[in-house]
Amino acid sequence: MELWRQLLLNGSVKLFWNEEILDKYLTEISNEGFDIYTLDCSKWNSHNYHNDLAAVLEFPDYYGKNLDAFNDCLSDMTSERIGIVLEFRNYEMFAKKDKYAAHSILDIIQINAWRFLLEDENLKLIAFVHSSDPEIDFPDLGGLSAEWNPDEWLDKSRGL
């Protein structure tokens, strides 16, 4: 079974603690035909994260720089390949500064990922969320919780 199918079984937002495992998954998913968009969240705060989202995801100039606009522009994304992976590095740093926005972004991704699967079976959306906090948690994303990737599912795999 393709990696993307395994990952989407229980939601489209996957957490990563170990960067080597994250890099392995990025290589595998890219080889399966996914475009990768990398966002470094280490300097994000409540006032500037939309600038990075707009630039990296190539949103149009009319992007409203709010969560509703993020939802709208994300839902309009396309790919010539099988799908899109949004890779968020150092997400815990942003989540500490703006927990509401950090959760909302992942919630919007989860909801759009399911919508893509239902409306356009040729486009998949997955988020890879890297955190140096092995206990980070984002419950109830689109009605689901973010899960750890299969290689770091067990607490002992994250040094706990």
**Parent domain of 141:** 3-158
Alpha-carbon gap, residue 54 to 40, rounded angstroms: 13
Give 10-residue mean pLDDT values along the chain (160 residues).
88 96 97 97 96 97 96 94 96 97 97 88 92 93 83 93
Domain count, the chain: 1
Specify the 3-state DSSP secondary structure of 127: strand
Q: Give the pLDDT confidence score for residue 147 in this predicted structure.
A: 82
Alpha-carbon gap, residue 32 to 52, rounded angstroms: 26
C-alpha separations of 88 from 34, 103, 121 in Å: 15, 13, 24
Q: Could you tell me the two tokens for 23?
A: 């890099």
- Nearest CA among 149, 156, 159 for reference residue 10: 149
Specify the 3-state DSSP secondary structure of 91: helix
CATH code of residue 112: 3.30.370.10
- pTM attached to this predicted model: 0.90
